[in-house]
Structure 1
Amino acid sequence: MSRRPAVAALGGGHGLAASLQALQLVTDRITAIVTVADDGGSSGRLRREFDILPPGDLRMALAALCDNSEWGMQWRDALQHRFAGDGPLGGHALGNLLIASLWDLLGDPIAGLDLVGRLLGARGRVLPMAGEPLQIRADVRGADPDRPDEVSELVGQVTVATTPGRVLNLRLEPDPPMPCREAVDAVLDADWVVLGPGSWFTSVMPHLMVPHLREALISTPARRILTLNVVMNDGETQGFTPADHVQVLREHAPDLHLDVVLADPRVVEDEDSLRAAAETVGAQVHLLPVADPDHPGTHDPLRLAAAYRDVIG
C-alpha cells in the first residue's frame, strides 16, 4: 500500500475547520497550523486576562479533527459548547477554558494541544503558527465611509476583519513574531501544503507575515494548494475578485510558488483573469464544485474532500 501524504493545512476559524474535515477523508497525516491573532469574543477575553495564545481557532481545528466515534463526537460537542448568560462564564466555550487550563498546568502550549488531541482521538495534530499571541495591523483605504480615499491604520483582527474599507497591506506585532518550531518543521516535512480557505487578511495572510514560517513555505519541497473561498467580495475583501485574492498573496510573498489554485466555478466570473493571476505564482487552476448548496457561503466537506483527492491524487 502506498503511503498516505503528509499535509500541513494553514488558516484559522471556520475556513480551516472545513478544510480539515475534508482532508481527514483523504489522509490521516495532517498538521493544522493555526493563526493566533484573534482578539475578540471568548478568545480575546482569555488572551487579555492571562496573556496566552487565543485558544478559539485552535479549539475549532481540534474539533474538526476529532475521531468519528461516539467518544470523539461527544468530546467534540463538549469542546464546542458555549456557556450562555451575562455572567463571568457567559460567552466562553468550554474548550477554550480547558485549553487555557492545560496551558497553565503544563506550561507548554504544544503539550496542552496534544493532550486535547488525545482526548478527542484527533486524526492529526494542531499547532499555533507562532509561539506568542499576535496583533494584526493593516493600512486600509476607506475605513471611514465618509472619507473613501483616506488611508488609515487599523489595529486588531476583529477590527480589520469587519472594516468596510479596502485592505492595502498587513503587518504583525511583535515584529518579527516568535516562530513555532514544530509548525515550521511540519511545513518542511509535508508532501502537500494547503493554504486557505478563510478570512483572507486575518486568517490566511498572517501565516506569510511570520518570517520563519514564510521561509518554510517558500523552501519546502511540498506541493502547495491555495483554496479560495466560496464567497467573494465580502467583508475585509470587499471588491475583491478571485484573481485579486491570488494577487494580494503574491504581493505579500513574491517568492512563494503555488502549484494549484482550487476554486468553486460558481464564484469565478472571469476564468481567464484567475488563470492569468495563478500563472504569476506558477499555479494551475482547478475549478471544482466545493460549495455546500444547502448552506450558502460554506464549503461542503465531502465535495471539498473529493476535490482534494482529485488534486492530491
Structure 2
Amino acid sequence: MHGRQAPVRGRRRAPVARALRARGRHDHRPPRPGARVSRPRVVALGGGHGLAATLSALRLVSDQITAVVTVADDGGSSGRLRAEFDVLPPGDLRMALAALCNDDEWGTTWAAVLQHRFAGEGPLGGHSLGNLLILSLWEHYGDTVRGLDMVGRLLSARGRVLPMAAVPLTIEAVVRGLDPGDPEALSTVTGQASVAKTPGQVASIAVVPQEPPASPEAVQAIDEAGWVVLGPGSWFTSVIPHLLVPELRAALVRTPARRLLNLNLELDTSETSGFTAERHLEVLAAHAPELRLDVVLADPSVVADEQALRQAAQQLGAELVVAEVATAGSPGQHDSLRLAAAYRDIMS
C-alpha cells in the first residue's frame, strides 16, 4: 500500500474535511439530517464486504437505496447451497440485507441473527442462518426477488436488495504467471473462490453463461436512479462482473444517473497483485470502454501519483475526489461515517 502524500492544492476534499472537523476527529455521530440537501435515489452495485461498507454509509444519507449484488460466489455456505439446490448463491445478498439494518435494537439483533454461522462438522456446520432463511423464502414463494423483499421487510431494512442476474454465474479468469517455466503464459482459472485467491495476475474475466439475463428489477432501478455507486470490492469478482451482464451494462451506460466509482482501500490483493489505483481504472475501462463515470472517490492512502490518477479518471469522464474514508488506525477498513460524509458532499 502506498504512503499518504501531502495535500495538493486543487484536490476536492475541503467539504469532507470541514464536515469531519465540525464533528471532531473521533466524533462518530452520523451526518445530521438537517445537513442533507437532498435524499438521492441511489443504486449501489457490488458484493461482499465492499458493498456492505457502501450500504452502511449510504443508509445515513439516503432512504432510497437499492443494492444490486453479484451472484457468482461458489465457495463456503453459498457454494454448497448453490450446488445442492440450484439457486443463486445467497451469501452476498445476505450481507447486503444485514448492512441495511437500522442501528436500533431490532436492526442490530436481526443483523446479528442473519449473519450467525453454525459451528461443527455436521450438515449445518459452516452455514449462515441468513442463507437458510433466504433459501426457505425462495422455495416458499418460488420467486427470488419476492423472497428477498420479504427478508427486507422482516429486518426493516433501509433499502432493497436485488441480484444482478436472474441465474447464478461462474467467473472465468485469464491469469498470467501460474506456470513457473513460462511466467508470461496465460491460464484459465474457473470459479469465484479460485479467482479470488489465485497466485497469478488476473488479466481479464468473463462470466458463464456469456450473456446472462439481468434481474429486470435491477435494470429498472438503475434506469430510475439519481446516483449509481460502483465499488469498492474485489475488483475482478465483485465489481467488474456487473459489466458483463449485457442488460445491466446497457442500463449503466444509458442511465441519466450520475455514476460514482469508489476505489478500494487495499489495492495490492491476490486478485490485483501489483495494481496501482490508475491500473484499476484502466482494467474497468477495458471491460466496458463505453461506460462513462462522473466521480472517482479515493482515500489519500491509495493515491501514489495524484496527477496520474486524475488523468486516468478524466479518461473515463470523471472528476477525482480524494477524501479520508478509512477508519483511523485501520487503513484497510472503511469508516461508515466518513464514507457517508463523502457521499453526502458529492451527492448534494
TM-score after normalising by structure 2: 0.88
Residue 241 of structure 2 aligns with an amino acid whose one-letter code is P
* Pairing of 1:136-285 with structure 2 (within 5 A): 136-145=171-180, 147-285=182-320
Are 1:82 and 2:82 an aligned pair? no
1:233-275 alpha-carbon deviations (Å, 9 max, x no partner): 1110001000000111011100101000000011111111111
Number of aligned residue pairs: give it: 313
Deviates more, 1:162-171 or 1:110-119: 162-171
1:71-121 alpha-carbon deviations (Å, 9 max, x no partner): 121111100000011111111000000001110111001000000000110
Residue 226 of structure 2 aligns with an amino acid whose one-letter code is D
Distance in 2 between residues matched to 1:42 and 1:244, nearest whole Å: 33
Distance in 2 between residues matched to 1:143 and 1:155, nearest whole Å: 14
Distance in 2 between residues matched to 1:273 and 1:136, nearest whole Å: 31
Residue 193 of structure 2 aligns with an amino acid whose one-letter code is V
Q: Pick the aligned partner of 2:56 from 21, 28, 32.
A: 21
Residue 93 of structure 1 aligns with an amino acid whose one-letter code is S
Measured after TM superposition, the shift of residue 145 of structure 1 is: 4.8
TM-score after normalising by structure 1: 0.98
**CA distance change for structure 1 residues 104 and 273 in 2, over 3 Å: closer, same or farther?**
same
Measured after TM superposition, the shift of residue 166 of structure 1 is: 1.4
Aligned counterpart, 1:104 = 139
Distance in 1 between residues matched to 2:82 and 2:61, nearest whole Å: 34
Measured after TM superposition, the shift of residue 3 of structure 1 is: 5.0
Are 1:53 and 2:88 an aligned pair? yes
**CA distance change for structure 1 residues 226 and 88 in 2, over 3 Å: closer, same or farther?**
same
Distance in 2 between residues matched to 1:145 and 1:27, nearest whole Å: 50
Measured after TM superposition, the shift of residue 149 of structure 1 is: 1.3
Residue 333 of structure 2 aligns with an amino acid whose one-letter code is T
Measured after TM superposition, the shift of residue 150 of structure 1 is: 1.2
Residue 184 of structure 1 aligns with an amino acid whose one-letter code is V
Distance in 1 between residues matched to 2:306 and 2:78, nearest whole Å: 39
1:161-183 alpha-carbon deviations (Å, 9 max, x no partner): 11121111111111210110000
Distance in 2 between residues matched to 1:31 and 1:308, nearest whole Å: 15
Deviates more, 1:19-28 or 1:287-296: 287-296
**CA distance change for structure 1 residues 73 and 140 in 2, over 3 Å: closer, same or farther?**
same
Measured after TM superposition, the shift of residue 2 of structure 1 is: 6.4
Residue 36 of structure 1 aligns with an amino acid whose one-letter code is V
The structure with more radius of gyration = 2
Aligned counterpart, 2:340 = 305
Distance in 2 between residues matched to 1:83 and 1:116, nearest whole Å: 20
Are 1:65 and 2:100 an aligned pair? yes
Distance in 2 between residues matched to 1:293 and 1:144, nearest whole Å: 40
| Unaligned runs of at least 5 residues, structure 1 | none
Distance in 1 between residues matched to 2:239 and 2:183, nearest whole Å: 26
SS of the counterpart of 2:43?
strand
* Pairing of 1:94-133 with structure 2 (within 5 A): 94-133=129-168
Measured after TM superposition, the shift of residue 68 of structure 1 is: 2.3
Deviates more, 1:57-66 or 1:69-78: 69-78
Q: What's the % identity of the aligned pairs?
A: 64
Measured after TM superposition, the shift of residue 4 of structure 1 is: 1.3
SS of the counterpart of 1:138?
strand
Residue 239 of structure 2 aligns with an amino acid whose one-letter code is V
SS of the counterpart of 1:74?
helix
CA contact (8 A) 1:145 1:164 kept: no
1:115-160 alpha-carbon deviations (Å, 9 max, x no partner): 0000110000000000010000011111345542110011000111
**CA distance change for structure 1 residues 262 and 145 in 2, over 3 Å: closer, same or farther?**
farther
SS of the counterpart of 2:193?
helix
SS of the counterpart of 1:297?
strand
Distance in 2 between residues matched to 1:256 and 1:183, nearest whole Å: 17
Q: Which has the higher contact order (CA 8 A, sep 6+)?
A: 2
Distance in 1 between residues matched to 2:185 and 2:91, nearest whole Å: 33
Q: Pick the aligned partner of 2:329 from 275, 287, 294.
A: 294
CA contact (8 A) 1:145 1:165 kept: no
SS of the counterpart of 2:210?
coil
SS of the counterpart of 1:305?
helix
